[in-house]
């Protein structure tokens, strides 16, 4: 099976340190039972699932300070036979003021140092600011946090700096900071914006996908399989409930593979996860077929008749 993104254009072309083009990411956030870590009962299962994903061919790993999964990621990386330079390890810094987990870091720069230690690595492939919703009365503010990431990149601790859940106006704010702080060095512009994306939420915020794609910011999709399992029981006849099985039969792929391939053909890189070996394997088998443009357009238009936002509901 080839890992080349057949007829899929991703921009910018990010890669592992060894030069392998970035591919679908495996997430470690939505399987955590207790973000407070008072009971890390599913710790071993997170390690094993991630190890399975790495052994199956995933090499892009997504974690975050608030998932509290750095120790599990470190352990899975240790147990896997993959070389560090062939991996793309991403973590996210969450602005302070969140009550649902105990934040160890005192700022974004300090977070990078802690993450390096917890993940058992001497560099991170990317660090993202988890969201732009900084509280006005708590430090650091957005500007300070972004400057900290610029500094961490200058020091070689981080290869790429980026964001998650950012709106166009937030991206413009940090782009200006990067330009001023680095004398217009383009490599310090945000490289990634990881957002909720699926046919039922094609714009997490107005114009965000277009803006990112026009400004060399890779859009990553979390929740790409949302239409398959997050629609409420009473709404099971949602618009894609007919089209996905139809396309699944036409292309001889699972509905999940159709959604992942659809996301890639939109120029967006999915971050997915599964606890099941078969699904983990299938989610990588999306590079040897393509969906006709007319069917991509159909998913877009049918999907746009229904709205489903699962994360950051109060913020947008």
Q: Which of 59, 93, 146, 311 binds ligand NDP (CB under 6 A)?
A: 311
Rounded Cα distance, 193 and 217, in Å: 7
Residue 184, burial from CB neighbour count under 10 angstroms (0-12, 13-18, 19+): exposed
Q: Give the nearer residue to ligand NDP in terms of CB position, either 183 or 278.
A: 278
DSSP string over 76-111:
HHHHS---GGG-EEEEEEPPS--SSS----SSHHHH
Active site residue 67: yes
Report 161-180 residues binding ligand NDP (CB under 6 A).
Answer: 164-165
The distance of closest approach from Cβ of residue 293 to ligand NDP in the complex, given in angstroms and rounded to an integer, is: 23
Report 123-162 residues binding ligand NDP (CB under 6 A).
Answer: 130
Q: Give the nearer residue to ligand NDP in terms of CB position, either 149 or 271.
A: 271
Tell me which of 67, 93, 188, 222 is the catalytic residue.
67
Q: Give the nearer residue to ligand NDP in terms of CB position, either 114 or 228.
A: 228
Judged by CB under 6 A, the number of residues near ligand NDP is: 26
193 is a site residue for ligand NDP (CB under 6 A): no
Q: Which of 38, 137, 229, 232 binds ligand NDP (CB under 6 A)?
A: 229
The distance of closest approach from Cβ of residue 49 to ligand NDP in the complex, given in angstroms and rounded to an integer, is: 8
Q: Give the nearer residue to ligand NDP in terms of CB position, either 275 or 304.
A: 275
Q: Which of 80, 217, 274, 299 binds ligand NDP (CB under 6 A)?
A: 274
Q: Which of 5, 29, 60, 197 binds ligand NDP (CB under 6 A)?
A: 29
Q: Tell me which residue has its CB nearest to ligand NDP.
A: 27
Stretch of residues binding ligand NDP (CB under 6 A), selected from 118-126, 202-210, 211-219, 271-279 = 271-279
Rounded Cα distance, 216 and 178, in Å: 14
> Does 130 count as an annotated binding residue?
yes
- Per the listing, tokens 């060095």 go with 185
Report 47-66 residues binding ligand NDP (CB under 6 A).
Answer: 62
Q: Which of 147, 272, 286, 302 binds ligand NDP (CB under 6 A)?
A: 272
Binding-site residues for substrate, in ranges, read 130
Q: Which amino acids are annotated catalytic? A: 67
- Which residues would be at the binding site for ligand NDP (CB under 6 A)? 27-30, 62, 130, 164-165, 194, 222-226, 228-229, 254, 256, 271-276, 279, 311
């Amino acid at each position: 099976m080839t890992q080349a993104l057949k007829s899929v254009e991703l921009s910018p072309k990010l890669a592992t340190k060894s030069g392998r083009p970035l591919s679908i990411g495996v997430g470690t956030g939505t399987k955590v039972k207790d973000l407070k870590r008072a009971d890390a009962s599913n710790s071993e299962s997170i390690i094993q699932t991630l190890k399975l994903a790495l052994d199956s061919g995933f090499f892009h790993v997504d974690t975050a300070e608030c998932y509290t999964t750095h120790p599990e990621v470190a352990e899975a990386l240790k147990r896997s036979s993959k070389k560090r330079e062939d991996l793309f390890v991403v973590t996210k810094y969450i602005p302070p003021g969140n009550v649902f987990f105990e934040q160890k870091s005192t700022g974004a720069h300090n977070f990078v140092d802690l993450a390096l230690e917890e993940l058992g690595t001497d560099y991170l492939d990317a660090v993202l600011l988890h969201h732009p919703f900084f509280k006005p009365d708590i430090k650091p503010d957005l500007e300070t946090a972004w400057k900290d990431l610029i500094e961490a990149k200058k020091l070689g601790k981080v290869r790429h700096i980026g964001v998650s859940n950012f709106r166009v106006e937030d991206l413009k704010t940090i782009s200006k900071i990067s330009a001023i702080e680095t004398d217009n060095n383009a490599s310090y512009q945000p490289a990634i914006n990881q957002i909720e994306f699926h046919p039922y939420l094609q714009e997490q915020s107005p114009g965000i996908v277009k803006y990112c794609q026009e400004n060399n910011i890779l859009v990553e999709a979390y929740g790409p399989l949302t239409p398959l399992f997050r629609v409420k029981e009473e709404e099971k006849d949602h618009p894609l409930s007919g089209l996905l099985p139809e396309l699944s039969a036409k292309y001889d792929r699972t509905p999940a593979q159709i959604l992942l391939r659809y996301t890639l053909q939109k120029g967006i890189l999915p971050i997915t996860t599964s606890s099941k070996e078969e699904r983990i394997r299938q989610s990588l088998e999306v590079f040897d077929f393509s969906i006709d443009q007319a069917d991509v357009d159909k998913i877009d238009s049918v999907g746009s008749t229904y709205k489903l936002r699962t994360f950051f509901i109060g913020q947008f």
